[in-house]
């Protein structure tokens, strides 16, 4: 299955277990799951001071917050169309999901 999020292709290994409910998109396996939802709060003073390059076309804002129970971290993507919050187990998980690799075909 092909999955594109914000115009960015998700690689085949991460484009699994796709679900959409209550404005939350989730995809990936349990340990590498990524959640995306609209972000309607202000970014000013929100602690997203660092920028992380996910790929050549996508940069997100990151902070130092990590949930103590789940280990998940928030990342913010913002462009002229709006703001989306991604939640993942780390920037490496987010980068891997949008890494352009050859499609994986499982028999």
In tens digits, the chain (107 residues) has pLDDT values of 678 888 888 988 888 999 999 899 999 998 899 999 999 888 777 788 899 999 888 999 998 899 999 999 999 999 888 899 999 999 999 999 988 655 555 54
**8 A C-beta contact, residue 42 and residue 31:** no
Q: Rounded CA gap, 72 and 69, in Å?
A: 8
pTM: 0.84
Q: Rounded CA gap, 98 and 32, in Å?
A: 12
Give the strand pairing for 58-62 and 73-79: antiparallel
DSSP-assigned letter for residue 32? G
Q: Considering only CA atoms, give the Rg of the chain.
A: 14
- Sequence-distant (6+) residues with CB within 8 A of 13 are 101, 104
Q: Rounded CA gap, 45 and 22, in Å?
A: 27
């Amino acid at each position: 299955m092909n999955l594109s999020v914000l115009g960015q292709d998700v690689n085949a290994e991460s484009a699994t277990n796709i679900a959409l409910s209550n404005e939350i998109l989730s995809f990936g396996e349990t340990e590498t799951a990524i959640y995306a939802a609209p972000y309607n709060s202000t970014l000013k003073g929100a602690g997203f001071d660092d920028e992380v390059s996910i790929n050549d076309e996508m940069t997100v804002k990151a902070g130092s917050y990590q949930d103590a129970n789940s280990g998940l971290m928030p990342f913010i993507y913002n462009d002229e169309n709006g703001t989306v919050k991604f939640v993942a187990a780390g920037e490496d998980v987010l980068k891997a999901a949008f890494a352009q690799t050859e499609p994986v075909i499982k028999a």
